[in-house]
């Protein structure tokens, strides 16, 4: 669970669906949406400083961890390629036998 989600939050009850015979209440016309606050202008220096601040928060992996992960990914790619090569060979053989049987 995320930090901002409390564990003590109770589930909210659903409102009962209105019956088909009763007309749905309409919102009063006097209630209008509050105007949105004005947008702040874009500032490239401020944006860049925020990007750098977020970049400093990143926990980077070590070269050893990166190397091990890369090798494991390579091994899994080879294993997957061999598996699909075998499945393709079996399916090819079965289709060839089926075509021989159908044409013979």
pLDDT at 41: 84
pTM (predicted TM-score): 0.47
- How far apart are the C-alpha atoms of 69 and 2, rounded to whole Å? 27
Task: Write down the residue that tokens 């190397």 correspond to.
Answer: 67
86 or 20, greater pLDDT: 86
pLDDT tens digits for range 9-46: 555 666 655 555 656 566 555 556 677 788 888 889 99
pLDDT tens digits for range 37-84: 888 888 899 999 999 999 999 998 999 999 999 999 999 999 999 999
Contact between 17 and 23 under an 8 Å Cβ cutoff? The reply is no
Radius of gyration in angstroms for the set of CA atoms belonging to the chain, rounded to a whole number: 31
Give the torsion sign (CA, 78, 80, 83, 89): negative
């Amino acid at each position: 669970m995320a930090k901002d989600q409390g564990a003590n939050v109770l589930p909210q009850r659903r409102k009962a669906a209105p019956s088909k015979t009763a007309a749905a209440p309409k919102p009063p016309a006097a209630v209008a949406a509050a105007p949105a606050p004005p947008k702040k202008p874009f500032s490239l220096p401020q944006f860049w400083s925020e990007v750098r601040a977020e970049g400093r928060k990143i926990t980077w992996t070590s070269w050893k961890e990166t190397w091990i992960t890369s090798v494991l990914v390579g091994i899994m790619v080879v294993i997957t390629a061999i598996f699909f090569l075998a499945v393709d060979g079996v399916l090819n053989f079965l289709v060839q036998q089926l075509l021989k049987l159908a044409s013979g």
